[in-house]
Structure 1
Amino acid sequence: MRLSRIISPLAALLIGGAAFGDTPQRVVSLNLCTDQLAMLVAAPGQLAAVTPLAANPRTSAMADQARDLSVTHGRAEEIYLMQPDLVVAGRFTARATVEMLRRLDIPVAEFAPAYALTDVADRLAQMGAVLGQEARADALIAQFNSGLADVQAETDTRPQAALYYANGYTSGGTSLAGQILRAGGFDNVATDLGYGAIGALPLELLALADPDVVVTGNPYPGASRAEAVMDHPVVTALKRGRVSGTVTDRDWVCGTPYALRAVQAMADLRRAVEAGQ
């Protein structure tokens, strides 16, 4: 199945109508991931404001949709004046703001980060419940589950891959990125080395693992010492003469249906690696 057929129905749901009834009518989001979950699930006019990151195409898979929404910078005073009847936030985001809003009797629904592909359906269901849009969420969940079954790789041969980011960090099998890598048909070097969610991978261990492919972070514009490690001679040598890949933040960082694009990219990369072996 072409990936466009998986993702395009999401846009159709964004413009579908739904009666509010007793559902919250003015919702504000404080987190990039809840921004996108709310944009997917909310009925037209229900979502009042999102974070500035939602309109950044580097970090958000829904930047175009977010540009039509008001922006909040996460200050309690600012949000209070918006008069929301619900705020959605990440579990670890803007703690002082969340606590202040609750003291002001503004309801706040918190969402845990997604650590697995199965969390995508859970987060959509949670957003559907708090927004009173269960039917919309259920439709998205069905599309995501069907799409994941179509794109995830079932293969007897699994090349080894290493995820390598700024400051030498990597992701193991109990992270969303690690599960995307696995669904794309790779074995994860970090998992074999005992990494769970995330941790620093020394260059020496990376070199000794000698993976078939290194998937690096996508550097931001400008110079960064934290990102310079991705151009270290060890990493360059591991990439030389081999297929390599990059992590596109917007499809990898949040547990939304757009993670399917990251799985598809890894499946395409696996096929390229195997073709070159």
Structure 2
Amino acid sequence: MWGCVRGSDLKRAVCAALFAALAATSSAWAEEPAGDVPQRVVSMNLCTDQLALALADPSQIVSVSHFATDPSMSVHWKQAEDLPVNFGRAEEISILHPDLVLADTWSNPDTIRMLRTLGIRVEQLPPGTSLPEIRGRIETMGKLLGHPGRAAKMLADFDARLAAIQTPAPGLKAAIIGPSGYGYGPRTLEGQILEMAGFQNVVSGPGLDWGGRLPLEDLVMDRPDLVVVGGSQGGTGTSRAQEVLAHPVLRDLPVVRGLRDASWTCGAPAMLNAVGQLATLGRKIEKEKLTQ
């Protein structure tokens, strides 16, 4: 509770949402399930996979995307191993006779159009990056699957975990860069994870809300306290785009490699694993600065 009083605006907003969620969950749990519960659900998107696998009854899901079984991308890969996978094609999905297909806003429009022409219900969920969007996706998924109570509990747990994360004092700067020196701006999921962990994102400013190529010279001039590089394999490889991440100038920066794993992939409760890791790093950096 004391952390809610003394925390940042983001922390106080999370605490307020937590208290509201706790007040609402008892009635929500009593209502489960709601409406017509779909019995044959197909997910054709990695992030709808993750929420569906967490909220649906196992018997409801008849297929998930082929990414769902990849441990580097899916936190529920073990759960997905026993399910048939799809590659987002209308032909393979339609023969499964689904009564609900879960897709993303950016899923293949030809597939969406064909499925709807065949009379198959398709629900497209917008990608979630900000906290309100992430919370909205969870709530919507619970309603679509007929399990609003489970979604309410997931939201309450999410808010409680986020409120409990101890972040460093404001002032630490960080950047997340990928192949070709691409930097992730504040509107991206990566940028939101940085903010939740208590860091100021150096990839910001006009035209960089969603990120963009960040010259390494600019990165050095920004003097970040932390640079998160690449993905789960450390961020270096054989392509020219990956070679940027092995540039000698990065040796003089506080670079961390191999930190980004499946918990960074989607706006879902697992992302709090990434937030917690970054917050812990931030407190360590903060402590080291105090002793210098």
Paired residue type of 1:201: L
Distance 1:95 1:171 in 2: 26
- The secondary structure found in structure 1 opposite 2:203 is helix
Q: Which amino acid aligns with 1:171?
A: Y
Written as runs of structure 1 = structure 2, the 5 A alignment for 1:238-249 is 238-239=253-254, 244-249=256-261
Corresponding position of 1:85: 99
Q: Deviations over 1:13-58 (max 9, x none)?
A: xxxxx86972110000010000001111112301111011111110
Separation of aligned partners in 1, 2:211 and 2:261 = 16
What is the match of residue 270 of structure 2? 258
Secondary structure of 2:253 counterpart: helix
Shift, 1:237, TM fit: 2.2
- Number of aligned positions between the proteins: 256
Q: Does 1:231 align with 2:243?
A: no
Q: How much does 1:121 deviate?
A: 1.5
What is the correspondence of 1:100-139 to structure 2 with a 5 Å cutoff?
A: 100-139=114-153
Percent identity of paired positions between Structure 1 and Structure 2 = 42
Deviations along 1:66-121, one digit per CA (max 9) or x if unpaired, are 11211111111111110000100011012211111011110000011112133222
Q: Give the alignment partner of residue 169 of structure 1, picking from 175, 182, 206.
A: 182
Aligned letter for 2:284? A
- Give unpaired runs (5+ residues) of structure 1: 1-17
Q: CA deviation at 1:156?
A: 3.3
Distance between the aligned counterparts of 2:43 and 2:144, measured in 1? 12
Gaps of 5+ in 2: 1-31
Other structure's SS at 2:59 match: coil
Q: Which residue in 2 is equivalent to 1:214?
A: 227
Answer yes or no: is the 8 Å Cα contact 1:215–1:247 preserved in 2: yes
Counterpart of 1:141 in structure 2 is 155
Paired residue for 1:13?
none
Shift of 1:254: 0.6
Say if 1:247 and 1:92 are closer, same or farther in 2 by CA, change over 3 A. farther
Taking structure 2 as the reference length, the TM-score comes to: 0.82
Change (3 A) 1:221 1:170: closer
What do you get for the CA RMSD once the two structures are aligned? 2.0
Following the alignment from structure 2 to structure 1, what is the Cα–Cα distance between the partners of residues 206 and 216?
Answer: 13
